Structure 1
Amino acid sequence: MAGVKALVGLSFTGVIGLTFLMLGCALENYGVYWPLFVLIFYAICPIPHLIAKRVSDDTDAASSACRELAYFLTTGIVVSAFGLPIILARVEAIKWGACGLVLAGNSVIFLTVLGFFLLFGRGDDFSWEQW
């Protein structure tokens, strides 16, 4: 039952993050949908970690090259997701208020993704793989 509560809580925080993103796009003062391109970063963010988890051996080594590469690629994706709205605001494609809302949404979404992998990616008997 605790896993269901955690999953519902993560879903709720994900919805809050997406609400910030949609507010940054759809409010009357902003009205430009360019910030929705960060959805691509949301979708590809967990992919390097999932690939590294499947490819790397199951030894309990402190570090592996595959895992470190996955962390590096994930960091690049997250930084790019934060950089895109800032670049769009600097070239005046979106307003700075929309940029702030998108950055708030990015923070919430990426903390939700991190929480998901911390809660369900441990590899014990209660794992995200059962979903």
Structure 2
Amino acid sequence: MAGIKALVALSFSGAIGLTFLLLGCALEQYGVYWPLFVLIFYILSPIPTFISRRLSDDDSSSNACRELAYFLTTGIVVSSFGLPIVLARTTTIQWGACGLVMTGNAVIFLTILGFFVVFGGGDDFSWEQW
């Protein structure tokens, strides 16, 4: 039952993050949909961690494959925060839209981190079996 509650809480926080992202795009004073390109980063960010967990057999904290996955994930996350800033500096989007997109980024990435914390262990309810 705890897994279901965690899944509901994570989906709710993901919906809040996507709401902030869409508000940064769809409000009448902003009206530009360029910030939606951060959705690519949302999709790409968990992939290195999924691959490293499949490839590494041991649970040691110092594993080269896992460290590379953390490095790549960090680069993807930093890029997703950098894209709205670059778009705002080039006046493609307004700074208010940049703030909303950055807030949505923070909420979405905390949701992804929460997913790995809750479902990352090898307990009976795990996504690793899929």
Q: TM-score range by the shorter chain?
A: over 0.9
Structure 2 gaps of 5+ residues are: none
Partner deviation per Cα, 1:14-64 (whole Å, 9 max, x = no partner): 00000000000000000000000000000010000000001112x232210
Root-mean-square deviation (CA, aligned residues, Å) is: 1.0
Structure 1 gaps of 5+ residues are: none
Partner deviation per Cα, 1:60-104 (whole Å, 9 max, x = no partner): 322100000000000000000000000000000000000000000
Partner of 1:31: 31
Q: Distance in 1 between matches of 2:15 and 2:49?
A: 23
Partner of 1:86: 85
TM-score scaled by length of structure 2 = 0.96
Does the residue aligned with 2:62 lie in a helix, a strand or coil?
A: coil
Q: Distance in 2 between matches of 1:18 and 1:27?
A: 14
Q: Which amino acid aligns with 2:37?
A: F
Shift >6 Å, 4+ stretches: none
Partner of 1:55: 55
Partner of 2:117: 118
Q: Which amino acid aligns with 1:87?
A: V
